């Protein structure tokens, strides 16, 4: 799995590529928690190249969303792969996350 990070204004954008399985979820969790430790609580996760996400990855998203909102920020999802979006819909996560068609739309929503 590959995770790229860049800052756009005061929003941290993560572009994730590959499988967010048990191993990938650890890497994703580390990247997102490192950013929150640095005071970055406004985040966008770009997931167009993520074809699979297991429960470990979903737990990471939920944990970071909760932490960021408690700290005045958020975790917004952008350009989601339809398969991963469908998983979020099946388990009801789309009710909790703001999901945008593009990174730009997600960043502008802040």
What integer is the mean pLDDT of 23-49?
A: 97
Check residue 11 and give its pLDDT. 98
pLDDT single digits (tens) 58-101: 999 999 999 999 999 999 999 999 999 999 999 999 999 999 99
20: number of Cβ within 10 Å: 26
For the whole model, what pTM was predicted?
0.94
Alpha-carbon gap, residue 5 to 31, rounded angstroms? 9
| Residue 108 placed within a domain | no
Q: Which domain holds residue 22?
A: 2-103
Residue 32 is part of a domain; what is its CATH number?
A: 3.30.750.24
Q: In what order do the strands lie in the sheet with 2-8?
A: 2-8, 11-20, 42-53, 74-78, 99-100
Q: What pLDDT score does 9 carry?
A: 86
- Structural domain contains residue 84: yes
């Amino acid at each position: 799995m590959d995770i790229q990070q860049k800052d756009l204004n005061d929003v941290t954008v993560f572009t994730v590529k590959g499988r967010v399985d048990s191993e990938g979820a650890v890497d994703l969790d580390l990247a997102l928690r490192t950013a929150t430790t640095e005071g970055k609580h406004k985040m966008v996760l770009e997931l167009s190249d993520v074809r699979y996400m297991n429960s470990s990855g979903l737990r990471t998203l939920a944990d970071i969303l909760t932490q960021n909102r408690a700290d005045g920020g958020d975790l917004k999802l952008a350009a989601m792969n339809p398969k991963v979006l469908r998983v979020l819909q099946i388990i009801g996560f789309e009710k909790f996350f703001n999901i945008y068609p593009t990174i730009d739309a997600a960043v502008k929503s802040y």
